[in-house]
Chain A
Amino acid sequence: MSGNLTLAADGTAGAPTVVAAEATDIGNPWVNIGIFAAFVLVTLVIVFRASRQNKSAADFYAGGRNFTGPQNGTAIAGDYLSAASFLGICGAIALNGYDGFLYSIGFLVAWLVALLLVAELLRNTGKFTMADVLSFRLRQRPVRMAAALATLLVVFFYLLAQMAGAGGLVALLLGVDSRAGQSLVIAVVGALMILYVLVGGMKGTTWVQIIKAILLIAGAAIMTVWVLAQYGFNLSDLLGGAVEAAGPGGEALLEPGKQYGADSTSKLSFLSLALALVLGTAGLPHVLMRFYTVPTAKEARRSVVWAIWLIGIFYLFTLVLGYGAGALVGPEAINNAPGGVNSAAPLLAFALGGEILLGLISAVAFATILAVVAGLTITAAASFSHDIYANVIKKGQVKPDSEVRIARWTVVVIGVIAIVGGIFAQNQNVAFLVALAFAVAASANLPTIVFSLFWKRFNTSGALWSIYGGLVSCIVLIVLSPTVSGDEKAMFPGADFAVFPLTNPGLVSIPLGFLLGIVGTFLSKEKPHPEKFAEMEVRSLTGAGAEKATAKH
């Protein structure tokens, strides 16, 4: 898989291509910084206002379960549409045409898994975290521990990739190209994130995500209409423009295979990625946690419906923006710009609306990183405090107050780890981390969620085999893959221990995760608990006994 493919699919805006970036010579960094500062100021005010109502654990972890479906759906879009969705996919379409478009489809279709199989049932049976559902009818402590570890790992991979990407984005958008300068920006992003989550809890985080989603989608919409207007609102003419700007061989932009069609291994890698994308989303802990912020399963359903529309429409915009950047900026200018593939969307903004539009789009890209890392942080904090501390260590004998206190400390610790990790990783090729997060979510989390919701016979042993088996196989396969060694774009280009040829482990680890869940279940002599399964099944479908929203304050 080429660097670009990894990049677009994987969430980091920065990583490989931005590493060598120099200060941007277009636009005015102060305009970008000014607009971003305005975003921070407005969201901080909102977060502080939201924080006045943070009293209970349900307030801190789940925003009091008082968000409406449309609000939560918008926040989900804000949580899900990372900088990669915007910068990475636009750039991938601009340079590789059709192949760039393919990712966005996997990212979107995946939401049907969440809509049909997971969202409502999860809302009806759980409280704060994914582990609530997984451990519902199984032995609490081992299953919770496993689910919490999977959650923390997924979140950590995702967070590190976002933070490392922030450094690259700075070089591209703000003209900061020194290592110290980039580290400072990573520290600022981390500190802001800690502040948002600490003060605002889930409520504050949700509002940041809602505002960011609106800005991102509105910005993309304006640019889309602008681009289309230049081609008389004729998509075919726009595609023709991109082909023409690409020069000889430009026709390949309209056909699949330009990027990953090189040989049978790269095709299998893509297949593996496609599988991980479509099954990973419904196992991402920060996505799952959002379903607890609404009062009922019906609102959880409305959230996903809204999220699907917003995310789908956004990806349609990126199709136009990608080809628009190819046509109006041209692949050569994009490749030569600092930031390479990631600079397609900002360069297009500059070509269309000059400094001001560039500033707006850059600020939106930053807001995107901030909102995504805030969502990840609160998920990790909930998982550590609610699952590991309260239920595994204290065996459930803990006051809600002290649970929330631990969660707040966890936020600080995770923030610091993210800053240090982000600074350490900023010149590393860590783009594979998000691919890994999706693969772990699909191989370790989704099988256990599906089995525990739908399979009566499923037991503790099956859950542990599935979670640990999926987790370990993903990590081992990625370590042995060309993303880590044996390739010039690898994390350790000098070494070569890449015995697994595919850049994404999903094709092996996802079926393995499901299989181990079945094998583990049948090998165990654990007595079934029909009464717990009855409770879970009845609750999941009817909503009886589901967690209620806290009273409006």
Chain B
Amino acid sequence: MSDSVVAKETTRPKIDLVDHAIVLIIVCLVGLVMNTVGPAIPLMDGFMGMIVIYLISMAGLILTRFAPFYLPSVAWISLVGIVATLPWTPGSEWIVAQAKSVNFLALATPALAYAGFAIAKKEIEVAKHSGWKLALVACLVFLGTYAGSVLVAEAILKLQGI
């Protein structure tokens, strides 16, 4: 059954843009509070930055809904963020300046708070079940990633003879 769920995941979900537009406003306002309290960025600077961030997110969602091919919303939102800030995009300097007033860690805080509230009974059972296992796997994840990057970089440097 799980296999078919995976298969279905690759088809385009119907995003209700109006719903998302409203919920995104709430989420951005929550993020603005974090941005003001933690990194102590002036409220009006943060507000302008958040408007830019909001518009990029909405543009990404619109593309997720209507683009000729499907990409997940995070990929579209990220791509819009990149294209909007490329040096040769008109007005990109202004967009970059506004976005600088938004701290990325401050935006992650509310997302993790929602995640803490979303913990279900079943998850606690899973955590209890595989706690030490995940810790062990995590250590190998870090080791594997670091060692893998070192080996590839080493090989390319040798190949280039530099």
A binds B: no
